[in-house]
Amino acid sequence: MATAEQNEGETYRVIMLGRSGTEVLLVPDGGRFALPSVEIPRWQRVAENLTAAVKTDWGEEVVCLFEPDASPRTNGAGIRYQATEHWSASGSPKMPTRWVPVSALSQESLIDRSDYLATRQSIGTCNAQIKGSPAGPFARLGWFKELREWVETAIEPAGFHLNERFRQLNASPSFSLVRFETEGPALWFKAVGDPNQKEFPITFTLARLFPKYLPRILATRADWNGWLTREVAGKLLCDVQEDTLWERAAAALAELQIGSIDHGARVLSAGARDLGATALSKLIQPFIEIMAQLMERQSKVPPAVLGRKELLLLGDRIQSALDALEALGIPETLGHLDLNPGNIVISPNRCAFLDWAEAYVGSPFFSFEYLLEHLRRTLGTASAVETRLIESYCAQWEQVVPPAAIAEGLALAPLLAVFAYAAGSNAWQDTERLEEPTTAGYLRGLTRRMNREASELADRRSLCLQ
């Protein structure tokens, strides 16, 4: 059920630049002007929702560039701005607008002084006139036109062409995600910057090694860390109701992992995380020490604070579980720390896996545990669908690993998958992020989850020995 917080909207004032940044679209108000504004859902994709709202409310199609750095600080109300480039007129505005030359603007031209400051900052950033302005190819005017021309060149040999329909989902100076429509298949352009630059070489490597399980890459732009793919036919798993398709996704995951057994070195050299048993063992002591410090800083109870003695015991239990996992002899394979139904495209004939910034090499069962967790959130625990999902996954692995080893590996996965997820990220090693209450609280929550899983694993072991 949606919460009130999820239903809240967020207002953005839109800095709509045209004619290479020499004019801006404004709303006349008496003898002065205001910026067009839109309201979009909070906690959802800004670019996708803002461009749709601008088209509906103001009759203009725009390309998002960036959110001016100083925009929330320009006034006490915390006004948010989005710098955009005008692309085309698409309808009638809800109230009259006017294109005004930037050279004619002054602080007195706009009703709100912060609008003028944000507009000047945006123009300076687009033209690279502000020292320290966000670096990246997608902050400048004209990048979208250049992108379309590049895409046209890339797809021309295939005999199809872009039409005018596109959807911009993500936007920032160094990140971009755009869906283009053509006379044939739809296309996706994605580009990444820090801290996800490694997604570019990882995706390129995986697409070459495992073309059956990734979208086909048509072209790459190394200077943008970007790549163009054909859209995979099918639906996102999160939008699928058929149990058989969930089972097919589990089987495909196992097939992909088994196929990657001999390619671990190449995947690691492309930038994937090393989350093998040896690498994870080295992280236990420093991770536990940081968690002890975070627990000591917790100001409210509940939730429970884990003391150092409990945390040291947790560290020992994680090490024992890693030793047990390693002894099973299950091959370390390609894995996905962010494997969720929104990253899986499924059809009766094919399953493709997306968004490989969180690729790793380690236990295959961690990724499957993440998929199971998403299924449980949707259907609850102990569902018949979960049982069949496990059977579909294990049926593939039984061709490689004895069933007893698979069962033991799956039993260890709930604890070790949480540890791999928490310790395999960079958040716990980033002192600045640890000062953020949200990050610190999230890591404490993951540690408490590990402690519960470790206790339940120990209890099951005790029952087996009785």
Q: Is the pLDDT at 69 greater than 50, yes or no?
A: yes
User: Do 55 and 168 belong to one domain?
Assistant: no
Q: Residues 101-130: what's their mean pLDDT?
A: 89
What is the pLDDT averaged over residues 117-143?
A: 81
Domain membership flag for residue 155: yes
Position 135 scores a pLDDT of 67
Confidence grade of residue 460 (pLDDT, cut at 50, 70, 90): confident
176 and 304 both lie in a single domain? no
Q: What is the pLDDT of residue 43?
A: 87
Q: Are residues 439 and 326 part of one domain?
A: yes
Same domain membership, residue 275 and residue 394? yes
Q: How many CA atoms lie within 13 A of 213 on its CB side?
A: 25
- Which of 189, 211, 230 is the C-terminal boundary of a domain? 230
Q: How far apart are CA 243 and CA 332, in angstroms?
A: 28
pTM: 0.91
Query: Does 100 share its domain with 204?
Result: no
More confident residue, 421 or 464: 421
Report the CATH number that the domain containing residue 122 is assigned in CATH. 3.90.79.10
Model pLDDT, residue 466: 55
Report the chain's mean pLDDT, rounded to a whole number. Answer: 93
Residue 367 domain flag: yes
- Which of 114, 137, 160 delimits the end of a domain? 137
Residues 458 and 440 in one domain: yes
Q: Please give the residue range of the domain that contains residue 439.
A: 235-465
Q: Is residue 463 over pLDDT 90?
A: no
Confidence (pLDDT) at 92: 94
How large is the average pLDDT for residues 27-54? 95
> Residue 401: which pLDDT band, with cuts at 50, 70 and 90?
very high
pLDDT tens digits, one per residue of 270-300 = 999 999 999 999 999 999 999 999 999 999 9
Shared-domain flag, residues 181 and 261: no
Shared domain check, 197 and 62: no
* Domain boundary residue, one of 230, 250, 265: 230
Six-digit token string for 69: 């750095």
Q: Is 22 helix (H, G, I), strand (E, B) or coil?
A: coil
Q: Is the pLDDT of residue 72 over 70?
A: no
Higher pLDDT, 291 or 241: 291
**Residue 302 shares a structural domain with residue 418:** yes
The pLDDT of 433-455, averaged and rounded, is: 97
Residue 73 has pLDDT above 70, yes or no: no
Helical segments of 216-330, H only:
243-259, 264-269, 277-297, 308-327
Give the pLDDT confidence score for residue 6 in this predicted structure: 46
* Whether residue 133 has pLDDT greater than 70: no
Average pLDDT score over residue span 13-22: 94
pLDDT band, residue 132 (cuts 50/70/90): low
Nearest to 428 by CA among 308, 261, 286: 286
Confidence of residue 3 (pLDDT cuts 50, 70, 90): very low
Confidence class for position 70, pLDDT limits 50, 70, 90: low
What CATH number has the domain bearing residue 147? Answer: 3.30.200.20
178 shares its domain with 246: no
Q: Give the separation between CA 69 and CA 398, rounded to whole angstroms.
A: 53
**Burial 271-284, CB ≥16 within 10 A → b, else e:** bbbbbbbebbeebb
Q: Are residues 31 and 80 in the same domain?
A: yes
By the 10 Å C-beta count (0-12 exposed, 13-18 middle, 19+ buried), 411 is classed as: middle
pLDDT of residue 102 exceeding 50, the answer is: yes
Q: What is the pLDDT of residues 337-384, one digit of tens each?
A: 999 999 999 998 999 999 999 999 999 999 999 999 999 887 777 688
Whether 64 has a pLDDT exceeding 70, the answer reads yes
The predicted pLDDT at position 77 comes to: 59
Task: Tell whether 3 is covered by a domain.
Answer: no
Lowest mean pLDDT among 54-58, 298-302, 328-332: 298-302
The pLDDT, as a whole number, for residue 2 is 38
Instruction: State the pLDDT at residue 75.
Output: 46
Give the mean pLDDT of 237-253.
94
On the question of pLDDT at 1 being above 50, the answer is no
**Residue 320: band (very low, low, confident or very high) from pLDDT cuts 50, 70, 90:** very high
Question: Does one domain contain both 150 and 125?
Answer: no
Rounded CA Rg of the chain: 25
Residue 1 included in any domain: no
Please report, rounded to a whole number, the percentage of residues in the chain having pLDDT higher than 90: 85
* Res 74: pLDDT: 44
pLDDT band, very low/low/confident/very high, at 438 (cuts 50, 70, 90): very high
Confirm if 249 and 260 have CB atoms less than 8 A apart.
no
Between the alpha carbon of residue 7 and those of residues 2, 28, 39, 40, the distances in Å are 7, 31, 12, 10
The confidence score (pLDDT) of residue 17 equals 97
Quick one: average pLDDT of 194-206? 96
- Return the pLDDT at 464: 64
Residue 2 maps to a domain: no
Structural domains in the chain (count): 3
pLDDT given at position 8: 78
pLDDT higher than 70, residue 7: no
